Structure 1
Amino acid sequence: MWLNDQQTSDSAIDAYRASLLSACPNHVVIDNLFNADRLDDVIQVLQQPDNWKTQQHTYAALYVDNAEWQKASSEQRFVQRDVWQRQENESSAAQDLLSFLRGNQFMSLLSRIFNVQLTDINVSDPEINTNYFRLGAADFVAQHADDSPGREVCMLLYLNKSWQNNAGGELTFLGQDDKQISVAPLYNCCVLFDRFSKGSEHWVERLNAEYAGLYRYNVVSWYWSE
């Protein structure tokens, strides 16, 4: 089982929904939602040096090549991070978790929390919408909105054991009235948010220079409604 049953009771789901609706942006932070032992197996896979590829986006275009990246100004550079590469016909805990996150059980849980029916029926390539990312000290995710048409829910799950409080790497929401909201990328911390809600624009704080050898790992998964 991937989920921690104590965190998925009817009363827990009611509490998540109440927290979601009362926050600006509409979001909820859930600690220990997943089975920690199984996440340990995932981390062992992700910490291997293989299967990672640098990903770079500008505000004008996604997946730019190095020549386009070098031409872009610093103000136009939006994302630089590593993305995990799936291996065909290879089984691992990391790949099993990605499959679970797009499966009926987890999507049903999210549907109950957000009170909207989530489905991949109209998503042409669901797999590309759920994956692992890592950021080093030179990487960044600048302010943006996850506003692809039809997208309803964004989920982030952090996979950083013994994360240092002064390491940086917090997810920061714009919020409202200059009241930004930051979430530390702590182990087995899951963040769910409604991308339509006010103040949901967000970014990732850079890692502090003294942690140059550290990587920040997380899963990002986007979900659509019918």
Structure 2
Amino acid sequence: MWLNEQQVIPSAIRAYRKALVRSTPHHVVIDGLFAQAQLDQVAHVLRQDQQWKTQKHSYSALYVNNATWQETPDTERFVQRDLWDRTGHPADNPESAIAQEFLSFLRGNEFMSLLSRIFDVQITDINVAKPEINTNYFRLSASDFVNQHADDSPGREVCMLLYLNQDWQSDSGGELVFMGKDDKTVTIAPLYNRCVLFDPSSPGSEHWVKAVNGETAGDYRYNLTSWYWSE
């Protein structure tokens, strides 16, 4: 239901694996990995305002409260964005059920098996205490930011970014930027149904997000982020 089958045939998997090993950082960009009709329904849910809450991280602490945030110097702040509140039961908002379903799919055997094939490593949640908190939707406005940081941690093999920005324009900002190597950064536009998979322990994988151009009130950059571990 969720995958675009033409993007996961054996020849496509081989191409992804080649792209990974030849790039710095080790990453692959896959456009159209997911079935667009289903993804359109998810994007519709995300444009509703009622299930979003602000998330703030500093370099020294995650999930910083407002009081601590006000005392944190700008140079120590690395994330300010909105997090989709997945705790609401679908009965409260039946439309949100498909967004919840997609999050569950991304932590299911079918999708993690696909990642295992691409990265040639066994991806599993067997040792992950709370898998569900490692896959969710986020949005950025012009006043938000994701500054330079690394996503590596022991056993973490794959980071996935999926962009959910319909009709995104070239001057909208919000590009992902990898540090790369030899002062040659890698910049990736957040186009709709574009999936970026990367190895967070590979050289040059530190990254940040360019500012969103918020000339229109209510403009947001939407994405899904998911982290995966090996055994």
Distance (whole Å) between structure 1 residues aligned to residue 101 and residue 181 of structure 2: 38
Question: What is the rounded CA distance, in whole Å, between the counterparts of 2:85 and 2:172 in structure 1?
Answer: 26
Residues 1:128 and 2:111 aligned together:
no
Backbone CA RMSD of aligned residues? 1.0
Q: How does 1:10-25 map to 2 (within 5 A)?
A: 10-25=10-25
Q: 1:213: which partner in 2?
A: 218
User: Take 2:217 and 2:199, find their aligned partners in 1: how far apart are those partners?
Assistant: 32
Which whole-Å CA distance do the structure 2 matches of 1:178 and 1:153 have between them?
A: 24
Instruction: Give the secondary-structure state (helix, strand or coil) at the position aligned to 1:164.
Output: coil
Distance in 1 separating the partners of 2:26 and 2:137: 23
Separation in structure 1 between the aligned mates of residue 215 and residue 77 of structure 2, nearest angstrom = 24
Contact 1:32–1:188, Cα closer than 8 Å, also in 2: yes
Shift of 1:150: 1.4
Aligned to 2:32: 32
Q: Residues 73-104 of structure 1: CA distance to partner in whole angstroms, max 9, x if unpaired?
A: 00000100000001354161110100000000
Partner SS for 1:111: helix
2:215 match: secondary structure: helix
Aligned length: 226
Task: Name the residue aligned to 2:172.
Answer: 167
Confirm or deny: 8 A CA contact 2:19 2:28 kept in the other structure.
yes
> 1: CA distance between counterparts of 2:227 and 2:217?
29
1:212 Cα deviation after fit:
4.7
Cα separation, partners in 2 of 1:211 and 1:19, compared to 1, 3 Å: farther
Q: Deviations over 1:18-46 (max 9, x none)?
A: 00110000000000000000000001111
Distance of 1:220 and 1:144 partners within structure 2? 15
**Structure 2 unpaired stretches of 5+:** none
Is the 8 Å Cα contact of residues 98 and 131 (structure 1) preserved in structure 2? Answer: yes
Cα separation, 2, equivalents of 1:209 and 1:200: 27
Q: Structure 1-normalised TM-score?
A: 0.98
TM-superposed deviation, 1:209? 4.4
The unaligned stretches of length 5 or more in structure 1 are: none
Please tell me whether residue 75 in structure 1 is matched to residue 75 in structure 2: yes
Question: Which consecutive aligned stretches of 4+ in structure 1 deviate over 4 angstroms post-superposition?
Answer: none
Q: Does 1:57 pair with 2:57?
A: yes
Identity over the aligned pairs, expressed in percent? 65
Tell me if structure 1 keeps the 8 A contact 2:141–2:214.
no
